[in-house]
Chain A
Amino acid sequence: MKTTALLAWRLLRRDMRYGELSILCVALIIAVSCSTAVNLFSDRMQRTMNSQAAEFLAADLVISSSDDMSQSWLDEAAKLQLKQAKTIEFPTALMENDELLLASVKAVSSLYPLRGQLKISDGSENEITTSQSPLEGEVWVEKRILPALKLNLGDMLNIGEKALKISKILTYEPDRQGDFYSMSARVMMNERDLAQAHVIQAGSRLHYSFQFSGDEKALKAFHDYVTPQLNASQRIIDIHQNRPEIGEALRRAESYLGLLSILVVLISGVAIAIATRRYTERHFNTVAVLRCLGYKQNQVMMLFVLQFLMLGFFTSALGCGIGVMAQHGLFYLLKSFLPATIAAPSLFSLLLGFLMGMTILFGFALPPLLQMRKVSILRVFQHQLENKTPSAWLVYGIALSLTSFFIWSYTDNLKMTAIIIGGGLLTLLILSFLLTHFLRYAKRFLPKIPLNWRFGVEALLRNPKISTVQILAFSVTLVAMILSYSVRTDLIKDWQLQLPANAPNHFAINIFPEQFEKISNDFKQQNIHSSGIYPVISGRLIAINDVAVQKIVSKETQGDRAIRRDLSLTWSAQLPEDNQIISGEWWNEMPVKNQVSIEEKLANSLGVKLGDNLTFTISNQQVIANVTSIRRLRWDTMKPNFYMVFSPTSLDNYPQTFLTSFFLPKEQKNLLNQLVKTYPNVTVLEVDFVLTQLKTIFTQLTAAINYILYFALFAGLTVLFAVIHASLDQRIYESALMRVLGANRALLRRTHLLEFALLGFFAGLLAVLISQVLLFALYHWALNLTYSPNLSLCVLTPFSSAFLVCLAGFSCVKSVTNKPLITILKEK
């Protein structure tokens, strides 16, 4: 073994010295550095995004409760060295200068906020960002409170029995929820002043929020410790469960990054497989000589495996180093787009990059390497003797298993992995069969092609099997690039659609039925775009198919929370905008009374199916409605959304008000005063700050995703060059021979141009076909996006691919056309 290892080392050094391994090394370094850089970048971005999302919680983990928290939990958090903060929110009526205003007071502890920052101002336009909360004896208020209560900055404001000085205007708090039921004017005070205010009494409606931040492991330990002890009024929230609109954006971004890692691995794998194939083919004669010298098949195999292990070790280490530098460079380039503090690189990601390098190398290099075992000893007599190739199942099985493993770890769904791999394999087999036969058939038409062009076409048709393999290799690389581009583009487009420039930034609630028509007309006259006016009726779900809901629903689920409070019910003749029926049917023009459409996630949580009967209590009366459809909602559109939508006339006999959301640009904000004066009962809530929060996070996610995409596209292009370079030997030799026989450079250039262009064009065409099938599957099953083919991309891809392959091929061929012919012929 020691002798074999020593020999492997010597052979490796020789091969390195003579440049035999340079292409493989370059491909490997690209693969490892790319996947390390993407891994490190994704990991750091992911953790940064999480901490950004944590800002919207003002912590990493929050326990929300209607009671104070048990001391033992706080002790446990302290033991785990978690930072702690506490907020108590409650509604209160403020009365100053004979003016009355309902406000939402938030008493905060000194460490609040643990994540993110508050924004305050001293009355001017300039905002100050701060991590401090109000001092004892001071209070920060939202701007609208001052004119409403005829107060100025510096005046005293009475909260219960305590007078507090208004020291700042509060303009932003990171954890303020977009929920319009809690959107009364905000007052923020120090928790220590709360006792003297005497506003908290038995029966007060309080909302406690216990916030924690710290090490991920400690947070998980605390989560696991607390979860089994939670009572019905307590809820644990982390960044993923916090706000559905941000959770969804994060989930998609993470999905995209995961997808990108697989694609980079796949692109690199193609390059490694091809580079190794070239390497092994050039070593068949060496193997035959070694066998002659007494080496056994297994020893030969061991010799090359050891060489690849050594090569993999050094190249992966080097690739990791380059990857680290590349991602530092990336963050440097991105610094103006990204948050000031970026999570530190983790050693685990680096190690993962190294292991990934070794795995990619062996997963994709082993199949061609296995050919070494089958080299005939008779090659010492006849160099061109064909090898017996190892079983196709063995050769492709390894690469396939590795790809399956990556897809499985990405989708976490065995069935879907089987569908993707099975479908992909079947598609590749069918396409390679069709392509080989097409190329064979096309050969018949060669004599009809003008002589000038014939050589180029002939070069492609000469060996249909090899051309098929090359076309498919380029296709797979292009598919990976198309997927990276398309998913990114549609993801961003979806975010932009979700929050267009005129996304509603106001909610108007408590509109009386008799005002319904008038307010609608007013909106039309003022050119205000509203997202529809909906009736709101309060009601509670009490039974499903006559069984009490408490007996059906498990604790701490969405369903559990839904049955513990009144739901806002509505009725509508039309399916609300952005709602999608996923099963059942929306009622027709003559709807039957007492039908209901339920939101998908709540239906799943409650176990409700089509045809079930739901019983509600509304104003002390019972209403039974039959579930006729299940809807999918977008909670992130700033439009009114409802868990339950009834058929028209079902709720006619119950007291109802109306609500709507609408967009008002800054310059039209004065219309609000008019609206409030005309309809004094209507409460108008401004939600611009929620929109700003969402837009900020989407902009940052978009910037990060764009740059990772450019990185992947660059990797794809580099690999494209490497793949062409690895397949040049035969082309160079044949060109040399043609030059010997009298072909001039113009003819050779034309030949190469046509061959590369055809290769690229066919590869592009196939890539479009495969990628569109995969995109449909991905959007449908993994990313929850709507698939629509990008026609310009479909048309442009074959031509761009032809151009790219020509460019790559030409640059590789050009460098060798100046070599003396005699040298090229001798090298063969």
Chain B
Amino acid sequence: MIETVNLGKTVFSPEGALQILKDVTLKIHEGESLAIIGTSGSGKSTLLGLLAGLDSPSTGCVILNGQNLTSMDEDGRAKMRNQFVGFVFQSFQLIASLTALENVMLPLELAGDKQAKSKASALLERVGLAHRLSHTPIKLSGGEQQRVALARAFVTQPAILFADEPTGNLDSKTGNHIIELLFELNQEQKTTLVLVTHDKELANRCNRKITLEAGAIL
């Protein structure tokens, strides 16, 4: 499903070049769930960004669903994301001026889906937010916001779901609830799951885990 070959990322600052990721080669199979773990600054989020085509690598390539992301332009990557990819972020990343329903409808609308409203409502109901459809993010608690984000991620029935510290901003009880929901939806939709986490318990629920240290897989 996803393959990387010698993936590397170097950033340049006034202090000089800094290699965040070096020679990462890995394969993630369809339906698999993979946890990327490691200490802060080890390059976990950078790897996730590269796998999802949110950033371009300095070296190497990413092959997603048989297509080389690295050789695509931004529009090509956007199309791939819209067709195959869902996201859940640590800081939710909801559009503040849209209601919960509108936030979930957005990826469907971008794909030109005419059933956007009914599908979004159904999924919000599935995550327990049927009574919060017309609320904007600021009126929702952290847990509720992450549930909206989950609904938005799954509403297009993506082949792959990327989750970056999905419980990082939540208390443990709410976090657990979100994780349950995430894995339930994952099971229901047979999605490939790639998640970045500090949480060993969460990592253990995945089929496989890799540990990053100083930008390299241990």
Using a CB–CB cutoff of 8 Å, the interface residues on chain A facing chain B are 382, 384, 386, 451, 454-455, 462-463, 466, 730, 734, 737-747, 817, 820-823, 825, 828
Contacts and interface: CB of A to CB of B under 8 A. Distances in A.
B107 A742 contact: yes
Nearest to B108: A741
B89 interface: yes
Interface stretch (B79-87, B179-187, B190-198): B79-87
A466 B98 CA distance: 13
A828 B91 contact: yes
A324 to B, nearest CB: 34
Contacts of B79: 742, 744
Contacts of A741: 81-82, 87, 106-107, 110, 152
B5 interface: no
A738 B89 contact: no
A820 B107 contact: no
A823 B50 CA distance: 12
B174 interface: no
A742 B75 contact: no
Contact of B110 (A463, A730, A734, A742): A742
Contacts of B16: none
Contact of B56 (A454, A737, A740, A820): A820
Contacts of A454: 109
A582 B98 CA distance: 59
A463 B97 contact: yes
Contacts of A823: 55
B96 interface: yes
A737 B107 CA distance: 10
Nearest to A384: B138
Nearest to A742: B82
Given A384-B96, A386-B138, A734-B95, A744 B78 contact: yes
Nearest to B87: A740
Contacts of B56: 820
B175 interface: no
B97 A462 contact: yes
Given A384-B137, A743-B78, A820-B55, 19 more contacts: A462-B95, A462-B97, A739-B78, A739-B81, A740-B81, A741-B110, A742-B79, A742-B82, A742-B83, A743-B110, A747-B110, A817-B74, A820-B49, A820-B54, A820-B56, A821-B54, A821-B55, A823-B55, A828-B93
B125 to A, nearest CB: 21
Contact of B106 (A463, A738, A821): A738
B144 to A, nearest CB: 13
Nearest to A452: B112
Contacts of A451: 109, 112
A822 B49 contact: yes
B111 A739 contact: no
B45 interface: yes
Chain B residues touching A, majority SS: helix
A440 to B, nearest CB: 13
A814 to B, nearest CB: 13
Contacts of B109: 451, 454-455
A384 B152 CA distance: 20
24 contacts: A384-B96, A386-B138, A730-B96, A737-B93, A740-B54, A740-B81, A741-B81, A741-B107, A742-B81, A742-B83, A743-B82, A743-B110, A744-B75, A744-B79, A745-B74, A747-B110, A820-B54, A820-B55, A820-B56, A821-B55, A822-B46, A822-B49, A822-B55, A825-B93
A682 to B, nearest CB: 81
Interface of B: 45-46, 49, 54-56, 74-75, 78-79, 81-83, 85, 87, 89, 91, 93, 95-98, 106-107, 109-112, 137-138, 142, 152
Contacts of B111: 742
A743 B83 CA distance: 11
A454 B112 CA distance: 11
A661 to B, nearest CB: 68
Specify which of A463, A737, A747 lies most central, judged by the most chain B CB atoms within 10 Å of its CB.
A737
B74 A739 contact: yes
A734 B137 CA distance: 14
Nearest to B82: A742
Contacts of A740: 54, 81, 87, 93
B137 to A, nearest CB: 7
A455 B97 CA distance: 13
B10 to A, nearest CB: 13
Q: Which 5 A-B pairs have the closest CB atoms?
A: A742-B82, A822-B49, A462-B97, A821-B54, A744-B75
Contacts of B96: 384, 730
B95 A737 contact: yes
Nearest to A746: B75
A738 B79 CA distance: 11
A528 B18 CA distance: 88
Contacts of B54: 740, 820-822, 825
Contacts of B98: 462
Contacts of A466: 97
Contacts of A747: 110
Nearest to A466: B97
Nearest to A744: B75
Contacts of B91: 828
A738 B49 CA distance: 15
Nearest to B74: A745
Nearest to A747: B110
Given A821-B54, A822-B55, A742 B78 contact: yes
A68 B110 CA distance: 92
Contacts of B46: 822
Nearest to B141: A382
Taking each of B75, B87, B95, B97, which has the highest tally of chain A beta carbons within 10 Å of its own beta carbon?
B97
Contacts of B152: 741
Nearest to A823: B55
A820 B58 CA distance: 13
B55 A738 contact: no
A825 B45 CA distance: 12
A742 B86 CA distance: 10
Contacts of B89: 825
A384 B56 CA distance: 30
A821 B54 CA distance: 5
A466 B81 CA distance: 30
A821 B164 CA distance: 14
